A and B are shown apart, each in its own frame.
Chain A
């Protein structure tokens, strides 16, 4: 099947100035990421803060222009940010992010906001707009009377439903969700995750689901990419990657998830913190926190290579352990 979206070798660098008069240094937030998403598929992206997952999400939508590499959406190169062509394309791909209160205009009612994309993209005639808004609200489980409410009058879960309804208004083919349920309680989280999956199935929407919560990602994603310091370090189907993680970082992530009712034992607890992207370690960026690191890991960064059917990993120890130790 052809890909809905393909990203090749994306690079995004920020200039960070240290101190008031300090010189600015480039920080590679995303450092050569390639990925592909099929229509209707969900790709989960996990990683810690600073791993570049949000920047990647914005580049996939063309909001941040990549400084290297390119994005191809439905077979065509991503137009430049802000151009009429890009704006037109935005109806086909939408963004949902963590804080619905910040994403909503507090002076407009929920129904007005859900109707806005219909107006902007001139999708349906004015007289049908109210009916479409009602349909969207029903699809995300909001009551008709809540359409007249303002964002502050709704709960966190309801606000996120409203944001999702607005994102769906233009019938997008791709939804990039950046931590969409992280601010919600587990009970409500489950409601929103189930709803997203149903909407996706019903409308054949592909999704990039960015989250630091492995449990949620496993549940919603077909495939998962693990990011560390701007690079994908492992990618596999969601069933496989959590059952048999290969990269030492994925192993540590999986093992750091506390399981209810089980006492802490035999967990891999990583020492240290994710390094500052401005001060990237030599070789494999993970080596200072890795128990397996060899000299090769300290000197040469591993490439993301196939390590079995349908899975890739960027780790010398996984790719060729004997060679790595000998080196």
Chain B
């Protein structure tokens, strides 16, 4: 079991008594790239903010987050700070709001180097220049003393990645890192993330609502809905044959660039309000194959024969008889 870099077990989060995360189990192996997908408000970001102790004080977090066996939940701030940035770094959607607008970019990177690797002076500057080079900032030496507003959005995201790399993390959590960027710049950043993982061997967690981007970068994907993981599998398995109706719905909703132009297939309705979660499976009200049992039972995430995990009573691609299966009747 020690082969996992990070293990989340039964991670739950609630704000003001309203539960938003309902027990997440998730392993990240060394050097692995996993994707987290789902609509906004499904708990993708909250999962990692909770794991790193970055949620506001009113959030109640329970369960376990272990990095190489060391527990993080409930640890004092000092212990968390040794992990944050050092072992696990996180980058966000909007790079310009994560950079300090009144500090020169070089100073912000060397600050991270001093904090995590105890590098100062010329050594820190040399390393910062190397990192800027590595993330593809042209002419790093000349631009070392510029302010964030003098860089474009794509370059700011590169600089954020450089700062995240300053601590030589074992895991990079990238939360919608390309969402705010133009298509051609997005392609560049995805490429950069792939190249960095190859060069440094760090694991990557890629949070995105863009299934296309996820399949470029990741090996394994978790699909989240209403604070739960509903399906998990290797990219190939999941994309070739999604089994959860929600996963299937997400795929179908994406307009295509090839083939016939056809009417889009939306998922009807919206993500439920965490204050008013439906009984049973949270997706049942939007699901076209839901049966009565789905409105009462909340299926657990179960290991399947083909290596995926799935939480669904009526998976896609199985021939269902009109009557509910015997197992379900027994359970009811």
B39 at the interface (CB under 8 A from A): yes
Taking a contact as CB atoms under 8 Å apart, the answer to whether B253 and A187 are in contact is: yes
Q: With A258-B212, A260-B239 as given contacts, are A189 and B253 in contact (CB-CB < 8 Å)?
A: yes
Distance A139 CA – B323 CA, assembled complex (angstroms): 37
Distance A238 CA – B262 CA, assembled complex (angstroms): 13
B40 at the interface (CB under 8 A from A): yes
Stretch touching chain A among B47-55, B119-127, B185-193, B314-322: B185-193
Q: With A258-B216, A264-B194 as given contacts, are A242 and B257 in contact (CB-CB < 8 Å)?
A: yes
Q: What are the residues of chain A within 8 A of B191 when measuring CB–CB? A: 264, 269
Interface centre among A48, A185, A243, A254 (most CB of B within 10 A): A185
Q: Which residue of B lies closest to A289 (CB)?
A: B184
**Chain A 197-208 interface mask (CB, 8 Å, partner B; 1/0):** 100000000000
Taking a contact as CB atoms under 8 Å apart, the answer to whether A215 and B235 are in contact is: no
**Chain B 40-66 interface mask (CB, 8 Å, partner A; 1/0):** 100000000000000000000000000
Interface centre among A190, A252, A270 (most CB of B within 10 A): A190
Distance A264 CA – B214 CA, assembled complex (angstroms): 11
Q: Which of B155, B184, B265 is in CB contact (< 8 Å) with A256?
A: B184
Chain A interface mostly helix, strand, loop or mixed?
helix
**Chain A 226-258 interface mask (CB, 8 Å, partner B; 1/0):** 000000000000110011000000001110111
A221 CB, nearest partner CB in chain B, Å: 10
**Chain B 175-214 interface mask (CB, 8 Å, partner A; 1/0):** 0000000111111101100100000000000000111111
Distance A49 CA – B267 CA, assembled complex (angstroms): 29
Interface residues of A, count at CB 8 A: 44
Q: What are the residues of chain A within 8 A of B276 when measuring CB–CB? A: none
List 28 interface pairs A-B (beta carbons < 8 Å), by A numbering: A48-B184, A48-B185, A156-B40, A186-B250, A186-B254, A187-B39, A187-B249, A188-B270, A189-B264, A190-B266, A193-B255, A197-B263, A212-B182, A218-B255, A242-B258, A243-B258, A256-B184, A256-B186, A256-B187, A258-B212, A258-B216, A259-B212, A260-B239, A264-B190, A264-B216, A269-B188, A269-B191, A273-B155
Binding site for A on B (CB under 8 A): 39-40, 152-155, 182-188, 190-191, 194, 209-216, 235-236, 239-240, 249-251, 253-258, 261, 263-268, 270
- Additional A-B contact list (15), CB under 8 Å, known A254-B257, A274-B184: A186-B211, A190-B265, A190-B267, A197-B263, A212-B183, A215-B257, A218-B255, A219-B255, A243-B258, A256-B183, A260-B212, A260-B214, A260-B215, A263-B215, A273-B155
Binding site for B on A (CB under 8 A): 48-49, 155-158, 185-191, 193-194, 197, 212, 214-216, 218-219, 238-239, 242-243, 252-254, 256-264, 267, 269-271, 273-274
